Structure 1
Amino acid sequence: MALRIGVREGIRTITRNGSLFILSLLVTSISLFLLSLFALVTVNLYHFVRILDEKIEIIAFLDAKADVEALQTNIQSIHGITEVIYTSSEQALQTLQEELKESKEVLTVFEENPLPASLRIKLDAEYRNSQKLREISDKILLLTGVKETIYGGEIVDQLKSITRLITIFDLGLLVIIIFSVIFVIFQTIKLTIFARATEIEIMKLVGAGNSFIAIPFTFEGVVQGFLGGIIAFILTVATDRIAVSFFDRIFFPHQWFFLGAIVAGIVFGVIGSSIALRRFLQ
């Protein structure tokens, strides 16, 4: 019964202060949109970094008389290696010719195929760091038939550093955006409470408890967050549609973003209204 009355009062408060609610809803929507946009950029950055990380591998160049099958077996037995792919010198030359379609004449200066056969060695995720790559590379170099290995250790370190920087930047920006959303909702509820201060005092005098008084304002915060989440998701989808025309592919899990926007809006609405009510009802 109390909940029903509180919700009805919340609806009445929203309609009575429609202009203030709409203005606050717009600000909340923009804040949640920025949060969604931030999440979209972050997800795609990590997705891109993960793709690059999966491409980290060791290339072992072989002698002309190397026993390929024996090498593949020996390398595959090294802990941390998931796959060993053989590329003949002919295949390597063909791949290079395809990559240099407009400059094939560059290869005509060679009388013979200058490219050696090689093994592409893929590793488990936990072994894709410069130290592990170096250790495995050193082991491979000891095998008969391997004359050189490359693995781009510096690039791997730079990739890991970029990932750490992205994480630190993301956390800082995330905190700022979350506090901004909560602050907007808090200010809205606070203004509504002040506008009904006399009415609230009368309710207190007739014996209404704090929980009963809080229901309409909490409901307003939830509605504001819920609607703000929906609007933010719509804006994010529109942004994604525009971005697709500039980028080949964007990773955008719609269901999770929709759910996240709604849940975040409601949670922030409850937190913002709770802070405002706690200050007033103390």
Structure 2
Amino acid sequence: MSGIIANTGKNILRNRWLSIATILVATIVFATASFFIAVSFMAQQAVRISETKAQLQIYFEVDTPESQISSVRDKLEKLNGIEEVTYITQEEALALYLDYYSDDPELIDSVSADWLPASLEVRASSLTDLEYITDQVKEEQRTNPYIEEVVYHEDVVKQLRSISNAIRYGAIGIISIFSVITLSLVFITIAFNINAHHKEIEIMHLVGSNDSYIKLPYILEGVVYTTVGSLIAAGLIIIPWYLLVGSSSDSNIKFILTQLATELDLNYLRSFDLKFVILFFGVHGIVGALVGFASSSFAVMKNLNLKSR
């Protein structure tokens, strides 16, 4: 095994500029792919959180009897996809109003609870459920004179979902292209090295070296290129992030990144998290090794047929 590792190192060093170029391209590819995967994941996380916070507000006429509101609430709680139904009384609506406009005395001086409508806030399990519930509530509104208004910010959530889908499909396309580039580059590099050392390979074959001793160094060479490139890419992404969020300065960038991690419920990105760092580098290393193994194995299979030598 030590001989195989030594031959792998020798192959890499003999073509050091080609090796450096291959690792550099692999780094760029993995960094770009990781960036788009991260953006796509954050977009999906934003949609998921929006779904959990998605609400439907049902406002009732000011003089609506509480029994009528309770009746509507009971009907809602029987629907599929209901996460929670909250009853906001006129007094609670006044408290919310006073808190919201606390900086503007002119807007709160003459307001009383009798002026504000009671309401129901409905939280659904998902956007699909919320759309179904909204249709049911609007149907109820047509026959129930006590329901004054139904508010559902449908456009905002749908736009967020559309943006998320566009990012995801774009990421898939870009990652596919870069994956082909990486596989092709490693294939070409290994094929070049095999052809450049064909006389040495023939001699090793003639003196009785087994096939695995000849082939494995070239396979491991490809694994080294992509694994090193993927780990460098991981470092280029995660190290600057933690340096920014962990810096002592109160910069705008730090505030934006911390706020983003908080809003998306990604607590492991708010401050240094060793488990996440190990996982992040581990995933990059494993994916890099698999890509290199697949590409270099294919190159060896196509360019190193020892039976014909």
Picking from 271, 274, 277, the partner of 2:300 is 277
1:166 aligns with 2:164: no
Trace 1:261-272 onto structure 2 (pairs within 5 A). 261-272=284-295
Q: Given residue 45 of structure 1, which amino acid in structure 2 is its aligned partner?
A: A
Task: Say whether the 8 Å CA contact 1:56–1:128 is kept in structure 2.
Answer: no
TM-score (norm 2): 0.77
How far residue 242 of structure 1 moved from its aligned partner, in angstroms, is 5.9
Identity over aligned pairs, percent: 26
TM-score (norm 1): 0.83
The equivalent of 2:249 in structure 1 is: none
Structure 1's 228 and 239: CA in aligned 2 closer, same or farther, altered over 3 A? Answer: same
Picking from 281, 284, 290, the partner of 1:258 is 281
Bigger relative contact order, structure 1 or 2, given CA contacts below 8 A and separation 6+?
A: 1
1:125 aligns with 2:126: yes
Structure 1's 143 and 76: CA in aligned 2 closer, same or farther, altered over 3 A? Answer: farther
Task: Say whether the 8 Å CA contact 1:133–1:153 is kept in structure 2.
Answer: no
Task: Say whether the 8 Å CA contact 2:76–2:82 is kept in structure 1.
Answer: yes
Task: Say whether the 8 Å CA contact 2:26–2:182 is kept in structure 1.
Answer: yes
The equivalent of 2:3 in structure 1 is: 5
1:135 aligns with 2:158: no
Gaps of 5+ in 1: none
Structure 1's 158 and 23: CA in aligned 2 closer, same or farther, altered over 3 A? Answer: closer
The equivalent of 1:86 in structure 2 is: 87
* Aligned residues: CA RMSD: 2.9
Q: What's the CA shift string for 1:146-169, capped at 9, x where partnerless?
A: 333222333343333333322221
Trace 1:228-243 onto structure 2 (pairs within 5 A). 228-241=229-242
Structure 1's 134 and 37: CA in aligned 2 closer, same or farther, altered over 3 A? Answer: same
Structure 1's 220 and 40: CA in aligned 2 closer, same or farther, altered over 3 A? Answer: same
Structure 1's 66 and 102: CA in aligned 2 closer, same or farther, altered over 3 A? Answer: same
Distance in 2 (CA, whole Å) between partners of 1:37 and 1:201 is: 44
Gaps of 5+ in 2: 246-253, 270-275
Distance in 1 (CA, whole Å) between partners of 2:215 and 2:19 is: 17
**Which has the higher mean CA deviation after the structures are superposed, 132-141 or 58-67?**
132-141
Distance in 2 (CA, whole Å) between partners of 1:166 and 1:276 is: 33
The equivalent of 1:57 in structure 2 is: 55
Structure 1's 279 and 78: CA in aligned 2 closer, same or farther, altered over 3 A? Answer: same
Structure 1's 100 and 195: CA in aligned 2 closer, same or farther, altered over 3 A? Answer: farther
For this pair of structures, how many residues does the alignment match? 279
